[in-house]
Homo-oligomer: A and B are copies of this chain.
Amino acid sequence: LIEQLRAAIRDFKLKHQLDHVVVVNLASAEAVPDVGARHNTLSDFEQLLSENHKALVTPSMAAAYAALREGCSYINFTPSPGAAIPGLLELAKQQKLPHYGNDGKTGETLVKTTLAPMFAMRNLHVMSWEGFNMLGNGDGKTLNNPDNRQAKLENKTRVLDNILGYSPHSDVAINYVPSLGDWKTAWDLIHFKGFLDVPMTLQFTWQGCDSILAAPLVLDMVRFAEYAYRQHEVGPMHHLACFFKNPIEVEDMSLFVQFEALGTLHVTLMHPPPPQTSRSAAKQTHHRFL
């Protein structure tokens, strides 16, 4: 399998006469594997590969391995592990490749990481934050399986604890509603206490088209990854944290803090980033934060 994946990348590179390839994982969520001691080093992981150990080597890991072995930058837009296991982080460093993930932040969690800091800044105590997500595309069908949605749900609730500094009651549901198709609809209820413990509420309803929200982030990140490769950056691209629910090695989950990191990088590099896309967050960065 690994060799097939590597050959496909080589063929693609050759056919389009490319200097560098960025591999992006956009598959549906996998069941959460049991990541443990045998993922801890590259040689352990390669041992698993040689054993063809399907329970411990998930498709996202196999694809990430193939990408890094072929010298590709790598982006993981899904909640699956991809390159985010110690053995593959080691491989990326050894291959001197930039990479990042996990789990693109396009809807409910985007709004959550935007709104939650407001409650912290005003010292409004969030008692409960309940979220209901509905969608009807293939992703929704896969997430209807409790095994497959576990990783995503953890990413969705963990951000609150991080931003608020405590754990409010928080259930997140993902329901498969076929008629909605690609139109992710989410309703969140935030029940919070103010001065003298008076309870209040904020509710929001998000109606967004998942693919349309994801596509420009993927395009931008491919450019960011290619740029990082040219700058000889190696390992996790922490400055891309704002695009992910579970950004590798980044602690602060506030959208704003993460977005400033994206701006700061550009200052450090001392030359304005040239991505051409009009839908790019980088452009925004310029005008607003630099």
Contact = CB atoms under 8 A, between A and B. Distances in A.
A220 to B, nearest CB: 9
Contacts of A12: none
Contact of A242 (B121, B201, B204, B216): B121
Contacts of A150: none
* Copies of chain A in the complex: 4
A222 to B, nearest CB: 14
Interface in A110-134: 110-111, 114-115, 117-118, 120-123, 127-128, 130, 132, 134
A199 interface: yes
A7 B280 CA distance: 59
A287 B130 contact: no
A281 interface: yes
Contact of A202 (B118, B175, B179, B205): B205
A212 interface: yes
A194 interface: yes
A207 B183 CA distance: 14
A124 to B, nearest CB: 8
Interface residues of A, number: 60
A177 interface: yes
Interface in A11-36: none
Given A118-B255, A123-B278, A194-B208, 15 more contacts: A123-B284, A127-B179, A130-B132, A169-B177, A169-B178, A177-B191, A179-B199, A185-B189, A187-B189, A200-B209, A200-B212, A200-B213, A201-B205, A201-B206, A203-B205
Interface of A: 110-111, 114-115, 117-118, 120-123, 127-128, 130, 132, 134, 165, 169, 171, 173, 175, 177-180, 185, 187, 189, 191, 194-196, 198-209, 212-213, 215-216, 242, 254-256, 259, 278-281, 283-284, 287-288
19 contacts: A114-B115, A122-B281, A123-B278, A123-B281, A123-B283, A123-B284, A130-B132, A130-B177, A132-B132, A132-B173, A165-B288, A171-B175, A187-B187, A187-B203, A194-B212, A195-B215, A200-B207, A200-B213, A202-B206
